[in-house]
Amino acid sequence: MPFDDALISRPNHFINGAFVASHGGQRRELINPYTEQVFGSVALGTAADVDAAVRAARAAFPAWAALSRDERAGWFMKLAQALTARADTIAALETAEMGSPISFSKLAQTQLPIMILGSHAQLLKKGPHDEIIGNSRVVREPVGVVAAIAAWNYPLLLLFGKVAPAIAAGCTVVAKPSEYSPLTAMILADVMAEIGFPKGVVNIVNGTGINVGEAMVAHPDVDMITYTGSTAVGRRVMSVAAGTIKKLALELGGKSATVVLDDAPLEKAVRGAVQGCFINGGQTCIALTRLIVPAGKHDEALQIAADEAAKFIPGDPMAPATTLGPMAYAAHRDRVQEYIRVGQAEGATLVTGGADAPVGVNHGYFVQPTVFGNVRPDSRIAQEEIFGPVLSVLAASSEAEAIEIANGTIYGLNGAVWSSDVEHATRVGRSLRCGKVDVNGGGFNINAPAGGFKQSGIGRERGHYAMEEFMEIKSMQFNSDALAKASAAE
């Protein structure tokens, strides 16, 4: 669909409720990953832009933190209503920016962020509440100014996963969307300006991680960092944040495993695993990129996986029938294809797909849906995050070995277990060292916590668990009479 120039040409940041020019005056061209053509541009910010946004957030913090929960919830509902009216535009922009098939953009890239706003509006009405412990009253207070840095693969969803709980908790925010997919964040800015959202509560500075992200993380007046992205960059965020001892919430990389137990319905489990791997073209941190099956069922599992992979057809992501969009940008396409070549060099069996461009596709940053069999647990394609439509199938000689393989990476973000016995699957699921486990294809829950063990991150997103990440806990000690009066005053 054609876009109005005001939607795709964004020379300004959003600071203190207004659109302001970047100090540096530079802009970045945006490339449509399907057409491979420039279709828009965005301002490239500087440390001076970050400083202006942080000062605005700091000034807005006392008034926003003092608002009642009901008042904050009211603003959430106004935002949700205004964004719902723009849902089709948001979905189309997400598809143009990073290549998600439009059917997927309408759901995951558009409806889920709006649902997060509604979810936090409801959570605000429920708590959290103060606790009385003996002669102490334990209270929760907003941490302060939060720097929120989102990744490019789910632009608005990841941004809202940070901004919504932060401002629900009473914090103010300086947000940086990815420089690869910043446009829907600016629709949020449009909406906030339109409804008169309190100035300075949410500020958006566009730019690169090096120039804007590092300035946010290092800024002495930022109290907390929330970041989604690679583990490598997460280490850098931790290092820079250490200079001012900031609170951190990090959602990082993953190499998540589906464990198919011997008593599982094999076909259903394998097809579910392929779908869990190839979601959003595999450009998903929680993608189930390893499939661990009983050794005696390995070859049958490969046949099923190849058949399911064939259903992911590359094509124009704006076409409703397309099930596999391009990779978000050229360098990432090249990286994924190189991993496929690595898998072949390591001796894994290439069942379907490969490093060449898909047949019949003349443009776009596409990668063939690829399945490897006979993958060694210690191989690179079984250990490193590929972030594309590449599934590694591994054989396990026992349930204990399957669990060992599943836990045998530096990551611990997501997992899945399949069994005909739910209790059996639950026992195995509890043995997986990861922050979320899907049992027999269990569905997405927007209020359940998500986050990582090991080098997959720190902290949790979604639901009241996310709100608590953005709060500090204070204990106040009273004599018994004073505590009774303080409790009665609430």
Domains belonging to the chain, first-starting first, are 5-252+452-474 (3.40.605.10), 257-439 (3.40.309.10)
* pLDDT tens track for 102-153: 999 999 999 999 999 999 999 998 877 789 999 999 999 999 999 999 999 9
* Confidence (pLDDT) at 410: 98
Query: Averaged over 160-178, what is the pLDDT?
Result: 97
Q: How far is CA 128 from CA 65, 225, 467, in A?
A: 14, 22, 9
Mean per-residue pLDDT for 294-323? 97
Q: What is the pLDDT of residues 431-475, one digit of tens each?
A: 999 999 999 999 899 999 999 999 999 999 999 999 999 999 999
* Range 411-430 average pLDDT: 98
* pLDDT at residue 7, rounded to an integer: 93
* pLDDT of residue 484 exceeding 70: no
- Give per-residue pLDDT as tens, 13-42: 999 999 999 998 899 999 999 999 999 999
Confidence at residue 167, expressed as pLDDT on a 0 to 100 scale: 98
Whole-number average pLDDT of the chain: 96
Q: Has this prediction a pTM greater than 0.85? A: yes
User: E strands, 361-470, where?
Assistant: 370-373, 390-396, 415-418, 437-439, 457-458
- Rounded distance, CA 134 to CA 297, Å? 58
Annotated catalytic residues are 251, 285
Structure tokens at 255: 């190499």
Average pLDDT over residues 292-302: 98
pLDDT of residue 128: 72
Q: Is the pLDDT higher at 221 or at 131?
A: 221
Give the model's confidence band at 423: pLDDT under 50 very low, under 70 low, under 90 confident, else very high. Answer: very high
* CA quadruple 287, 289, 292, 296: dihedral sign: positive
Looking at per-residue pLDDT, the higher value among 486 and 343 belongs to: 343
237-251 average pLDDT score: 97
Other C-beta atoms within 10 Å of 71: how many? 12
- Please, which pLDDT band fits residue 486 given cuts at 50, 70 and 90? low
| CA angle in degrees (0–180, nearest 5) for 185-437-140 | 60
